[in-house]
Structure 1
Amino acid sequence: MKFTAQKRESVGTSAAKLLRNENLVPGTVYASDLDPINIAMSVTDVEQIRREIGLNSVFDLEVEGKTRTVYIREITQSSLKPVIYNIALQAIKKGEKLEMPISVVITNDDALADPDGVVSTTLLEITVIADPATAPDTVEVDATGLNIGDSITAGQLSLPDGIELVTDPEEVVVTVSAPDEAPEDVDPEAETAEPEVINEKEEADAE
């Protein structure tokens, strides 16, 4: 997939607001062999990239007639309204490896050894060194057969060949815990003690 961006000279908050008013998204292309390039992309293109390609994905970007293969480092957007603030891209060469995050996804959490266990992700993503063009979007953690109290560390994850783990191998990624204790049932027929009325007690003591 290929997209086009225009080079921009103006930077800063005011310039970024002007671009967004023109339905453009400010961004930056980083590279290991050249200075960062400030760009502006159509908001429609960035929305398509976010929706159809996603983070960590690779596509071709043309800037001033030159096409580079880039990988998506980050797309910053508002959590309250549909506004994309910025896009950060990394230019890469064929076969070049970069430090990048990969999301952690739990599978088969309904196949625990103890069905009462609750599986939770304590680390949403791990950091690896990989070729973005061939790296997976996610790494799966199979919860089949895990018991309450079990955990899986980053070093126990199954990574494809050619991918180097950067995250501490001892970092816990997934845990299985016991469910929260439910509150005791309250008998609706049970009598409820009347609250003590201070003034009445004082009057009784005074008599």
Structure 2
Amino acid sequence: MGNFSERGQNDEVSNLAKLFSQTAFLGDRSNFSHAHYGYLMACMGQIDLMSKCEWGPVEPPRNQTPRMLAFMENYLDAQKVDEHRVAIQLMRHTLMHTGALRFLYEPKTGTAYTWRIHFGDTFPSARFGHYSLSTEDPAYQHDLLSSVSGKVSVVKALNLQITQLAADILRVAKDYTTKMNTNRALQIKCEGAYPAIRVQTLK
């Protein structure tokens, strides 16, 4: 089986974060948002890849989100199901398919979601922990509120540091591959799924 690329991705993110910190994003006023986007998609893509390998070659339709969610609960953090749900929608589906981060809205709870994403450890307050959801003051969320057509009862933000997310993915990859190396059933599933991943079918 080919190698996962988490270690190289982690090193690359860390090196770029240092450069951005030293140069104030090379003077770019938008803080190189597309660099943020690329690494967010790459990190979530690794989760998608590993969850597919753990699942195996045959899966039912519309299984991607449940598969990723279960994998993240098992390997990333079992206590952060809501964070996982938002991260998968925001960074694997919305960002990938629309080219940018977008507000999320959950009609059944009236919850609207925004984000606070930094390349490194630069959150403005200690209350914004990495990979956490914080409740935001609606008074400062005019753009979000004016974009949502339904009633918003609460606004939450996904707080995330890209350098730490890359480190998280590396840890998850180590845990998964360690488990797989001692579990023949997981090996069989991965061996069955990986050929179709390694060489994609052009449709």
TM-score by length of 2: 0.20
Query: RCO (CA 8 Å, sep 6+): is it higher in 1 or 2?
Result: 2
More helix by share: 2
